[in-house]
Chain A
Amino acid sequence: QKEVEQNSGPLSVPEGAIASLNCTYSDRGSQSFFWYRQYSGKSPELIMFIYSNGDKEDGRFTAQLNKASQYVSLLIRDSQPSDSATYLCAVSHGSARQLTFGSGTQLTVLP
């Protein structure tokens, strides 16, 4: 059973702060790691993906991957109220790169 675990939250941070979202996965054969944002009633939208150990930065977002610890995280700098959403961690595996999603972390950025 391939599992992806996330803290369900809710996580609340004040506007302008750094939000830190964490995810662990069980399958060491996992190849790629994704962070999606999902607003209520909408489908997920891709924020970032990461393949290699280390950090990857894109604007206010930084993804961190540690394959030895089977851990991936997402940092959101200068958090904005519009960042309030559920953040889904997803891990790909298999020849077709199927995605297994975590249960999501609900983030609220307080004005």
Chain B
Amino acid sequence: GAVVSQHPSRVICKSGTSVKIECRSLDFQATTMFWYRQFPKQSLMLMATSNEGSKATYEQGVEKDKFLINHASLTLSTLTVTSAHPEDSSFYICSASPGPAAEQYFGPGTRLTVT
């Protein structure tokens, strides 16, 4: 159990375009989902926390107008990178939690390359 999927697994886009990444909890309802970013040779950095039906909470330094997060249902959250630039190229990973005191289950990640 506790499977989280992400789509796409890999995406290449041109600078200035937008990219949407989906995160789904397949066998449980996720009251909270988290979005992380990981640059090469670095650790995961939390970008934002999203709760179903409410606005996401962004970490300091993360532009909410650039990284749009929608958590429309208990099994789906989306991250849209708007007007992507090469410096946005990174490994984006989501995680989902069935409750506030439960552990997080990670998706397989999405590798974004902006050319």
Give B60 Cβ to nearest chain A Cβ, in Å: 10
A43–B49 CB distance below 8 A? no
* Binding site secondary structure of chain B: strand
Q: Name the residue among B44, B93, B101 with the largest chain A CB count within 10 angstroms.
A: B44
Q: Is A28 an interface residue (CB 8 A)?
A: no
A101–B44 CB distance below 8 A? yes
B107–A102 CB distance below 8 A? no
Q: What is A's interface to B at a CB cutoff of 8 Å?
A: 32, 34, 36, 41-46, 49, 88, 95-104
Q: What is B's interface to A at a CB cutoff of 8 Å?
A: 32, 34, 42-46, 49, 51, 57, 93, 95, 97, 100-109, 111
Q: Which of A42, A88, A98 contacts B49 (CB 8 A)?
A: A98
Q: Which of B101, B106, B111 contacts A44 (CB 8 A)?
A: B106
Residue of A nearest to B50 (CB): A96
> Provided the pairs A42-B109, A43-B106 are in contact, do residues A96 and B44 lie with their beta carbons within 8 angstroms?
no
List chain A residues, Cβ under 8 A from B45.
101
Residue of A nearest to B48 (CB): A98
B103–A49 CB distance below 8 A? yes
